[in-house]
Amino acid sequence: MSDRITPRTLKGFRDYPPEKMIPREQLVEIARRVYRSFGFRPMDTPALEHLEILTGKGSDETDKQLYRFEDHGGRSVGLRFDLTVPLARFVAQHIQDLGTPFKRYQIANVWRGENTQRGRYREFMQCDFDTIGTTSTTADIETVLVINALLEAIGFEQFTIRVNNRQVLTGLLEKLDLVDQSTAVLRALDKLPKIGAEKVAAELTSTAGATPQQADAVLQLSELTGSNAEILAQLEPLVADNETGKRGLDQLTELTEAVAAAQVPAERLKLDLSIARGLDYYTGMVVETFLDELPGIGSVCSGGRYDNLAELYSKQRHPGVGASLGLDRLLAALEELDRLADIQTSAQVFLPLFIAKRRNDYLHLATQLRAAGLDVELYPEAKKLGKQLQYADRRGFQVAVIIGEDEFAANEAQLKNLTTGESQTVALDDEALALIAEIRPLLGS
Q: Are 295 and 168 in contact (CB under 8 A)?
A: no
Candidates 17-25, 197-205, 228-236, 269-277 — which segment interacts with its own copies by CB under 8 A? 17-25
Position 159 contacts its own copies (CB under 8 A): no
- Fill in the amino acid letter for 6: T
Candidate residues 30, 31, 49, 214; the one interacting with its own copies per rule CB under 8 A: 49
Half-sphere exposure of 196 (CA within 13 A, CB side): 2
Candidates 99-107, 159-167, 236-244, 431-439 — which segment interacts with its own copies by CB under 8 A? 99-107
Of residues 381-400, those binding its own copies (CB under 8 A) = 381, 391, 394
Candidate residues 347, 355, 385, 434; the one interacting with its own copies per rule CB under 8 A: 347
Position 315 contacts its own copies (CB under 8 A): yes
Of residues 68-87, those binding its own copies (CB under 8 A) = 68-73, 75, 77, 79
Sequence-distant (≥ 6) Cβ neighbours of residue 369 within 8 angstroms: 349, 351, 376, 401, 432, 435, 436, 439
CB of 167: closest distance to its own copies in angstroms? 18
Number of chain residues interacting with its own copies (CB under 8 A): 109
Candidate residues 130, 142, 203, 272; the one interacting with its own copies per rule CB under 8 A: 142
> From the CB of residue 124, how many other CB atoms can be counted at a distance below 10 Å?
17
For its own copies, the closer of residues 132 and 168 by Cβ is 132
Candidate residues 59, 138, 211, 411; the one interacting with its own copies per rule CB under 8 A: 138
Candidates 227-235, 283-291, 309-317, 431-439 — which segment interacts with its own copies by CB under 8 A? 309-317
Burial of 336 per CB tally in 10 Å (0-12, 13-18, 19+): middle
Position 440 contacts its own copies (CB under 8 A): no
The contact pattern for its own copies, residues 164-203, with x = CB under 8 A and - = no contact, is ----------------------------------------
Report d(CA 374, CA 403) in Å as an integer: 18
Position 379 contacts its own copies (CB under 8 A): yes
Position 378 contacts its own copies (CB under 8 A): yes
Position 317 contacts its own copies (CB under 8 A): no
Candidates 185-193, 323-331, 341-349, 432-440 — which segment interacts with its own copies by CB under 8 A? 341-349
Report d(CA 442, CA 445) in Å as an integer: 8
Report d(CA 304, CA 161) in Å as an integer: 12
Report d(CA 220, CA 237) in Å as an integer: 12
Position 323 contacts its own copies (CB under 8 A): no
Distance from CA of residue 367 to its chain's centroid? 36
SS3 385: helix
Candidates 7-15, 156-164, 243-251, 322-330 — which segment interacts with its own copies by CB under 8 A? 7-15
CB of 204: closest distance to its own copies in angstroms? 30
Candidates 220-228, 289-297, 373-381, 415-423 — which segment interacts with its own copies by CB under 8 A? 373-381
Outline where DSSP puts E strands in 229-371. Answer: 269-271, 285-291, 301-306, 320-325, 349-351
CB of 226: closest distance to its own copies in angstroms? 23
Closest by CA position to 98, among listed 318, 416, 388, 354: 318
Candidates 184-192, 359-367, 399-407, 412-420 — which segment interacts with its own copies by CB under 8 A? 359-367
Of residues 210-269, those binding its own copies (CB under 8 A) = 257-258, 261-263
Q: Give the phi and the psi of residue 185 in degrees, each rounded to 5.
A: -65, -45
Candidates 36-44, 199-207, 400-408, 420-428 — which segment interacts with its own copies by CB under 8 A? 36-44
Candidate residues 46, 196, 209, 226; the one interacting with its own copies per rule CB under 8 A: 46
**What DSSP line would sit under 169-195, residue for residue?**
HHHHHHHTT-GGGHHHHHHHHHTHHHH
For its own copies, the closer of residues 16 and 243 by Cβ is 16
Position 10 contacts its own copies (CB under 8 A): yes
**324: region left, alpha or beta (phi > 0 left; psi from -120 to 50 alpha):** beta
- Own/partner contacts of 18-26, CB < 8 Å, gap of 24 or more, are 18/344, 18/346, 19/342, 19/343, 19/344, 22/343, 22/344, 22/346, 23/331, 23/334, 23/340, 23/341, 23/343, 24/125, 24/327, 24/331
Position 283 contacts its own copies (CB under 8 A): no
Q: Are 162 and 278 in contact (CB under 8 A)?
A: no
By DSSP bridging, strand 376-378 and strand 399-402 are unpaired
Position 104 contacts its own copies (CB under 8 A): yes
Candidate residues 59, 344, 419, 425; the one interacting with its own copies per rule CB under 8 A: 344
CB of 173: closest distance to its own copies in angstroms? 23
Position 67 contacts its own copies (CB under 8 A): yes
Sequence-distant (≥ 6) Cβ neighbours of residue 169 within 8 angstroms: 182, 185, 186, 189, 218, 221, 248, 273
